[in-house]
A and B are shown apart, each in its own frame.
Chain A
Amino acid sequence: MSFFLLRRTGGLVLTLLAISIVVFAVMNVLPGDPALTILGIDATDDARAALRVQLGLDDPAPVRYVQWIAGIARGDFGTSYSFGVPVAGLIAERLPLTLSLALSGTLLTLVIALAAGLYSASRHGRTGDWAVMILSQLGIAIPAFWLAILLVLLFAVNLRWFPPGGFPGWSDPLGSLRSLVLPTIALAAVQGAVLARVTRSSALEVMRLDFVRTARATGLSPARVLWRHVLPNALVPVITIVGMQFAGVVTGTIVIENVFYLPGLGRLIFQSIANRDIITVQALVLMVAAVVVLANFAVDVAYALIDPRLKARLA
């Protein structure tokens, strides 16, 4: 187990470094002058040169890269060009919202996928199965942001059950929860549709295995066989896809935050793009990519925890 973890952690660090190089290269080596974008074309050459020195842009790119990474290692992501405050602070302020949305979205995705997928598998070839499959095919084709708009139209504009967007702040817990309901549904419905198919086919495969027959021969109820015996064994491929989909959940969160005007990292990215705040965008992009990579890492470790056979092999 420890060797496995060690090797995977090594790979993780290398991957993160590689990603940071790519991000830095795209944002800094490509032509473009942050001083020009910040000050505008009316500024004098002197003013721009002064700003470049102030931002540390006169150093060669490799030096700036090392400084950037060293700063991140200390928790210093640099100072935002447009807000004039540390980027780390900006992130810390908005992270809880994005994290809650991503987590609640993933949770609801799993609930939808497992319930629909298992139901569909247990009704294999019958009407219920068909209905779920048609719904999920539709769900895969629906853009999350359009579903979000439809939800706003129905539940906010017409029924007025939930706010159409915005966030009251965590000091109002009930209001915060209410404003996260529609974004969570929009995020989870589409991801859940994809995952429901995976769950169904995985469960169908498990249901053909001998131990399911043993469980039936033991007189266990179909529900018990399904949830206690089929589900755990069907989970491994499902978790793989959850890991692969996590990139989708994260970008989905960025999109959904913009649909609902939620002040999270996704909004921050777009504000920073509008402000040409390269250092902030750079930090955020790196963070999001890192989250995706970390999620895949977590999935690998989760396998070993679920499957005792794997655990034995890794020991």
Chain B
Amino acid sequence: MLDVSNLSVRFGDAYALRDASLTVHPGDRIGVVGESGSGKSMLAQALMGMVPESASMSGILKIDGTEMTRATEAQWRALRARRVAMIFQEPLAALNPLRRVGTTVMEPLRTHLGLSRTQARARTLDLFEEVGLPDPEQRLAAYPHELSGGQRQRVLIALALACDPKLLIADEPTTALDAEVAQRITDLLVRLSRDRAMALMIISHDLQVVARATRQLLVMYGGDIVERGETRKILSAPFHPYTRGLLAARPRPQLARPVPGTKRPRLPTIPGHIPALVDLPAGCRFSGRCPAELSRCRTTRSTEFRTGTGLAACHLLNPAERSKS
């Protein structure tokens, strides 16, 4: 249902997203991981047609076969909520504080689907039930500040589901929640994706959430997709040096292995800091921080090569390089 190739988002000369390609089928569950500034949120915004006005988009972005890269705001509006929907990180901030949550959820039902007040109300009750809000009748009249964090996120999920989207993008859906609630929200997203045959894209820096909820994984760094494949396999056997660093830096370091060809000990953190968009090296974005860097990494970008677990964009995988070393 979603077909993206060589999609880029630029601010002048600075790429926030560079040549991203991916395909999403109904029912897919995709995780996108990376540090802040990796381009994962920009990917989500691009899929919603909500990149900042000062940015320019290029490449191909097909939603249900319609090419949307140069679509107008009005064309995008017709797709949002109905094809692609999104939920956000901070559920309290993401809800209008002056509106009852019932009104908020009923709004797209009435404006997009043309339901009457009673129909929209009944539908909202169903949605609240579906997302597991207790006492849906009472919740209709509640204001956001009267709900708990988990309940607010459920309201936002209900809002996103209102017009039966084919793809639900969840941008850091659990970051603002405590661990137990986060798990339940994650499980809810998985269940909804299964029940509705709806594709799910979870953007997170929390590998546990991604491991729990998704089957495929995209690892992003500096606007590039550096590695992709099955979530479980990548998490247990990462290839790209950045993915290794990312896994090593998380609280469960036993999953990471030392990068081959280096004498460095295991990395508790990735050395250096994420460069600003304009300072990124032209070739592999990770060069300069990469422990296994080759001379050409800085200037040339690698194409994607097969790893044991999927694909990675790294010169180390190039057979020509291997034969040299």
Contact = CB atoms under 8 A, between A and B. Distances in A.
Contacts of A307: 97-98
20 contacts: A209-B93, A210-B90, A210-B93, A210-B94, A211-B95, A211-B96, A211-B97, A214-B88, A214-B96, A215-B96, A216-B80, A217-B81, A217-B85, A217-B160, A218-B160, A218-B162, A219-B77, A219-B163, A233-B97, A306-B98
Contacts of A306: 98
Interface string B13-55: 0000000000000000000000000000000000010100000
B159 A218 contact: yes
A222 B73 CA distance: 10
Interface string B72-115: 01000111111001101010011111110000000110011000
B108 A312 contact: no
Contacts, number: 77
Interface string B134-161: 0000000001011000000000100110
Interface of A: 209-211, 213-222, 224, 228-229, 232-233, 306-309, 312
Contacts of B99: 229, 232
A185 B176 CA distance: 50
B80 A214 contact: no
A213 B93 CA distance: 10
Nearest to A216: B50
Interface of B: 48, 50, 73, 77-82, 85-86, 88, 90, 93-99, 107-108, 111-112, 143, 145-146, 156, 159-160, 162-163
Nearest to A211: B96
List 8 A-B pairs, minimum CB-CB distance, nearest first.
A219-B80, A210-B93, A219-B81, A211-B96, A210-B94, A217-B86, A214-B94, A308-B143
A100 to B, nearest CB: 31
Query: Dominant SS at the A interface?
Result: helix
A309 B82 contact: no
Nearest to A313: B145
B80 A213 contact: no
Contacts of B95: 211, 214
A76 B95 CA distance: 53
A308 B48 contact: no
A309 B96 CA distance: 12
A254 to B, nearest CB: 36
B108 A220 contact: yes
Given A210-B90, A210-B93, A220-B108, A308 B98 contact: yes
Contacts of B93: 209-211
Given A210-B94, A214-B94, A219-B81, 13 more contacts: A209-B93, A211-B94, A217-B48, A217-B80, A217-B85, A219-B78, A220-B107, A220-B108, A221-B77, A228-B107, A233-B96, A308-B98, A309-B97
A251 B6 CA distance: 64
B50 to A, nearest CB: 6
B139 to A, nearest CB: 15
